[in-house]
Amino acid sequence: MACTTLLVAKGASANGSTIVARNEDCENGTFNPKKLVVVEPEDQPRLYTGVTSHLTMHLPDDPMRYLCVPNVDPSAGVWGEAGANAANVGMTATETITTNAQVLGADPLVAYDAATGTPGGIGEEDLVTIVLPYVHSAREGVERLGALLQQYGTYEENGIAFNDADEVWYLETIGGHHWIARRVPDGCYAIVPNQLGIDYFDLTDAFGDQDAFMCSADLVDWMKDNGLVPDGPMEGEVLYEGIPAVFNPRLCFGSDTWRDHVYNTPRAWYAMSILNPMDSYLGPDADWRPEDADLPWCREPEKRITLVDVKRVLDSHYQNTEYDPYGALGDEATRAHFRVIGINRTCETSAVEIRGDAPEALRAVDWVAMGSGPFNTFIPVYANVDVAPKYLATAPNVNCEQNYWQVRLIAAMADPEFYSNVSGLMEYQQATLGAGIAHVRKTDAGFDAVDDKDAEAYLAKANDEICATVNDATQKLLASVLFTRSLHMKNAFNMQDH
């Protein structure tokens, strides 16, 4: 799947929370309906089989309740994608990433063999289901997933993020069984656009205190055995078991092709231009260019990041540049040159926020946006509930009563006449985001008067209330876009035309 991930560590957000956010984008030519669900412990499988891999595994008998965003049609598997559990741990899985042939030759992917019936490894379809219900911290998420990767392998390259009230961790798979993980430094954000991104790794820490780095147990020997050792050592360089202790995984394990520079790196470049706007990004003397292979994985933002900033990044399409497909700058070639972040085939976006200063029951909020980013809005959903809002449940058939289908209809009609609808879209997004932020503040403030036994019902009611507010605004936007599009149908006729 083609996605874009934005991670916000403690100290980088405006309210002190941690955030793991990602667009889940369908493959070319597909539009995959998604729904928000709550999975209770009794509904969690104890024997799990992946559809893609045909791999069967036993799962622990002590799952927690969790919120996730699976496929409406289960025929291809669960694809839980993002959510938070009862321990207030968030997860997003996965960012499909790239690697190189040297890595795949050293540790091939573990694909299902139909001829022999040999199962494959684990993949995006499985990860939320087999990891999130069992972990009590972001660090535990890395440890459990790392152990599963080493045991079963994977059939694809992926990046997976976890957050709790204090930490954000990001794990990247390296070949079939190997992996590295880095904690996003406090005060920083990280952006990942379908490309192996971690650009700094410390082996001494990974095999020592693990303050900021973790990896598969045999990573060093595997690197040495397969010619994946970084260049060096340079004079005075610190070594770990004979290789540079600090190296750039992007150079050792990643890719750097022309496809990266039209599909992947421009998205990181534009996200940086939003979060660090004082740098220069356009012109021959720009600090950063969209094709640059050395765009940093993580940076300190120029101002602390809000949910509005997260939405702005993840629904962006190179506004105010010649690369904007809706823009007036450049020409037809430049406007189609780079793959945008807010693409038509985004099926959902989740920004899982864990708020350390909130009571335990309120800590996890999943800001959910269904459909394509330029045409949708974030809806804040408290995760510690026993039922998900019906507005986000998504029936298989097209209808005008649920958010996913509303946004799909708005996008399809508004896209051909974007600037005839853009004012209405911007007003809608500002109004609903503002309503969502105010709703969270109001719900938080009212929680002090709620008995513990009534907490889940209180939060479920709050989720339904904000969904009702968004539904009303979305219905009005849908009617406005429909009216605008109807005016310009080809079979229009007016006697004043003659």
Where residue 234 falls among pLDDT bands split at 50, 70, 90?
low
pLDDT score of 236 = 64
Q: State pLDDT tens for residues 246-286.
A: 999 999 999 999 999 999 999 999 999 999 999 999 999 99
Give yes or no for residue 142 having a pLDDT over 90.
yes
| Cα-to-chain-centroid distance, residue 424 | 27
Q: State pLDDT tens for residues 286-335.
A: 999 999 999 999 999 999 999 999 999 999 999 999 999 999 999 999 99
What six digits make up the tokens of 277?
Answer: 């706007």
- Kindly state the average pLDDT of the residues 29-39: 95
pLDDT score of 493 = 85
Q: State pLDDT tens for residues 92-126.
A: 999 999 999 999 999 999 999 999 999 999 999 99
Q: With pLDDT > 70 as the criterion, what percentage of the chain qualifies? A: 98
Mapped to the 3 state alphabet, what secondary structure does the chain carry?
CCCEEEEECCCCECCCCEEEEEEEECCCCCCCCECCEEECHHHCCCEEECCCCCCEEECCCCCCCEEECCECCHHHCCCCCEEEECCCCEEEEEEECCCCHHHHHHCCCCCCECCCCECCCECCCCHHHHHHHHCCCHHHHHHHHHHHHHHHCECCCEEEEEECCCCEEEEEEECCCEEEEEECCCCCEEEECCCCCCCCEEHHHHCCCCCCEEECCCHHHHHHHCCCCCCCCCCCCCEECCEECEECHHHHHCCCCHHHHHHCHHHHHHHHHHHCCCCCCCCCCCCCCCCCCCCCCEECCCCCECHHHHHHHHCCCCCCCCCCCCCCCCCHHHHCCCCCCCCCCEEEEEEEEECCCCCHHHCEEEEEEECCHHHCCCEEEECCCCCCCHHHCCCCCCCCCCHHHHHHHHHHHHHHHHHHHHHHHHHHHHHHHHHHHHHHHHHHHHHHHCCHHHHHHHHHHHHHHHHHHHHHHHHHHHHHHHHHHHHCCCCCCCHHHC
pLDDT score of 498 = 61
Where residue 387 falls among pLDDT bands split at 50, 70, 90?
very high
Give yes or no for residue 1 having a pLDDT over 70.
no
Where residue 231 falls among pLDDT bands split at 50, 70, 90?
confident
Average pLDDT, the chain: 96
List, by residue number, the catalytic residues: 3
Q: With pLDDT > 90 as the criterion, what percentage of the chain qualifies? A: 96
CB 484 within 8 A of CB 421: yes
The architecture in CATH of the region 4-200+248-394 reads 4-Layer Sandwich (3.60)
Q: State pLDDT tens for residues 167-189.
A: 999 999 999 999 999 999 999 99
Give yes or no for residue 165 having a pLDDT over 70.
yes
- Kindly state the average pLDDT of the residues 343-354: 98
Where residue 232 falls among pLDDT bands split at 50, 70, 90?
low
From residue 161, alpha-carbon distances to 8, 81, 432 in Å are 11, 11, 27
CB 362 within 8 A of CB 447: yes
CB 307 within 8 A of CB 367: yes
pLDDT score of 12 = 98
Where residue 497 falls among pLDDT bands split at 50, 70, 90?
low
This prediction has a pTM of: 0.97
| Cα-to-chain-centroid distance, residue 369 | 11
pLDDT score of 333 = 97
Where do the structural domains in the chain lie, given as residue ranges?
Answer: 4-200+248-394
pLDDT score of 29 = 87
Cα dihedral sign for 77, 82, 83, 88?
positive
Residue type, 121: G
